[in-house]
Amino acid sequence: MGRFARISHADLRAAAARVAARQGLARTTIAAIAKEAGVPTGSIYHRVPSRAALLAEIWLEAADRYGTAFLARLSGASSLDEVAQAALVTPFLAREDPAAGVILFVHRRDDFLDDAPAESRARAARLVAALRDGIAAAARRLAPADKRARERFALALIGIPYGAVRTFLPQAVPPLELDPAILAAARAALAAR
C-alpha cells in the first residue's frame, strides 16, 4: 500500500497547535509547522488541503474538547450552585491542555476560521450554537420567567472564566488558587438582578 507516513494527521495538528499556541497565528507559517513536525513543507499538503484548513482543524479540535466537557457539566446541573461549577471547565482545560487553552482563550476564533473552507466554518458554527443552546436551556430550566437570565448565564459561565484565565495563559497556567474567586464571581453574576 505504499510507503509509511512519518507523521500522522493527528501529529500534524498537534505540531500546528503547539506553534500557534507558542508564537501566535501570524507566525504559524507552513515552514514553522513543518519544522515543528520535523517534515519538509511539501509533505504537509499530503495531509491537508491548505494552511487555512489546518488552522480551522486545530481550533475545532480544541473547541470540541472544551464544548463536550462544558456541556456535560452544565446539563447535569440542577441548582445555580451546580451551574456555577461549569465556569471551572475553562481553567481546568487551560491546565490540562495549555496549547488548547491558548488556542481557545488567547486567540480569536475568527483568526482561525476566516479563510477556512465552508465546511469547517459550518462545523464551528454548529459547535458555538450548541454551547449557546446549552446555556439557554440551563437558563430556562433554573431561572424561568427571568428575561435576561441567558445573558447572565453566559457572563458567568463563559465571559468571567475566559477573562480570568486569559491574563495568565500565554506564559503561565492559571493558578489553582484562582478557582474560588472565579466561582464566587460566577455565582454572583448568576444571582445578580
Partner DNA sequence: TATATTCTAAAATACAGATTCTAATAATAC
Partner DNA sequence: GTATTATTAGAATCTGTATTTTAGAATATA
Q: Does residue 108 interact with its own copies by CB under 8 A?
A: yes
Place of cell 500546528: 16
Taking the complex as a whole, the smallest distance from the CB of residue 119 to DNA amounts, in Å, to 16
Q: Does residue 145 interact with its own copies by CB under 8 A?
A: no
Q: Does residue 166 interact with its own copies by CB under 8 A?
A: yes
Taking the complex as a whole, the smallest distance from the CB of residue 186 to its own copies amounts, in Å, to 7
| 38-65 burial code (b ≥16 CB/10 A, e <16) | ebeeeebeebbeebbebbbbbbbbbbee
The interface partner of residue 107, options being its own copies, DNA, none and the CB cut-off 5 to 8 Å by kind, is its own copies
Cβ proximity to DNA: between 17 and 86 the closer is 17
The interface partner of residue 97, options being its own copies, DNA, none and the CB cut-off 5 to 8 Å by kind, is none
Q: Does residue 180 interact with its own copies by CB under 8 A?
A: yes
Distance CA(23)–CA(44), nearest Å, equals 19
Binding track, positions 20-59, relative to its own copies; x by CB under 8 A = ----xxx---------------------------------
Distance of CA 184 to the CA centre of its chain: 23
The interface partner of residue 52, options being its own copies, DNA, none and the CB cut-off 5 to 8 Å by kind, is DNA
CB 25 within 8 A of CB 112: yes
The interface partner of residue 187, options being DNA, its own copies, none and the CB cut-off 5 to 8 Å by kind, is its own copies
Q: Does residue 14 interact with DNA by CB under 7 A?
A: no
CB 191 within 8 A of CB 80: yes
Distance CA(35)–CA(165), nearest Å, equals 29
Contacts with DNA in 25-54 (CB under 7 A)?
27-31, 39-43, 45-46, 50-52
CB 70 within 8 A of CB 131: yes
Handedness of CA 52, 94, 127, 185 (dihedral sign): negative
Helix (H) or strand (E) holding 88: none
Contacts with DNA in 103-132 (CB under 7 A)?
none
